[in-house]
Amino acid sequence: MASPNVLSTTIGTNVFQIGNIKWKQFNVDTSPKPLLVFTPTVEGTYPVILFCHGFAICNSYYSKLLGHITSHGFIVVAPQLFTLGLPMPGLCEVKFAGKVANWIAGELQPKISENVQENVQAKLDTIVLAGHSKGGKTAFAVALGHAETTLKFSSLIGIDPVAGPSKCKITRTLPHILTGKAQSFDLNMPVVVIGTGLGPETGNCFPIACAPDGVNHEEFFYECKPPCAHFVTKDYGHMDMLDDDVSSLLKCMCKNGIAPKDLTRRTLGGLVVAFLKAYLYNQWEDFKAILEDPNLARAKLEDPVFYP
């Protein structure tokens, strides 16, 4: 048996390491939108996360982050909702996210069975909504009922969510979900919002910040009702959780941190895993440890806020 001292150092830190569960990813082209599916290859039943990408970002650019989460015992479905060459209005994106959610309900399990030899089952009563940047706003919009879905969602994760280039309503993406009022979101589920400290700063080749004040993670958290939590990776930028081999255009659009990007991916992945372990499995040790000591994370965190 591990000594008490050894045990205390592992609680809250293992989530920031790659998990012990082997996994694979595969493509699906028969859903409403092309998908990347990340799934464990170890027999078991796993919760499903529907992850929405940011504006004009390929879903494959999140492979390391989503792989980290999968390795701790989750199935992640990442649709390619649109691309830079084929943008679509926010309302269409939200509708397609809802259609993918409905596809998950009926078609995900057969696809997993086709691609994984082991008996891996999708736990469809614990669907998690998640997204980054504009995709984070899309996840919120779906949770708020702006898409017709047959599923009930268990929790919501916003990674540096953004509602548009400014507070001006004319420039914000549809649907307009931000109200400017505290705890105005009518969400009957736990929420975690994870922001970046450099998101509100302009990048090297783009005059507008990727996560401007007034429409970024701070406003989203401000409008959440308990239970909700807020973390901020202080020294990292809006795109720093993407894989290292993303296009140079994306790298220069936003203000980037100077530390290794692997640290922010492991931090974001660990926060997601700890949050979901707490609310899906009632395993609170990691989440509480991180709230009490943010220095456990691999990237520097500002003081977290949690309203139970």
Catalytic residue (one of 31, 155, 160, 217): 160
Evaluate whether 238 touches 211 at the Cβ level (below 8 Å): yes
Catalytic residue (one of 132, 235, 238, 240): 238
- Rounded to 5 degrees, what angle do the CA atoms 197, 282, 262 make? 35
Q: How many CB atoms lie within 10 A of CB 155?
A: 24
Letter for the amino acid at 83? T
> What token pair was written down for 179?
């109200």
Contacts of 155 (CB under 8 A, 6+ apart): 128, 129, 189, 190, 191, 192, 275, 276, 279, 280
The answer to whether residue 160 is catalytic is yes
Distance CA 219, CA 223 (A): 6
Distance CA 185, CA 106 (A): 29
Q: How many CB atoms lie within 10 A of CB 292?
A: 10
Q: Which of 254, 223, 252 lies closest to 238, judged by CA? A: 254
Catalytic residue (one of 63, 133, 154, 155): 133
Mind telling me the catalytic residues? 133, 160, 238
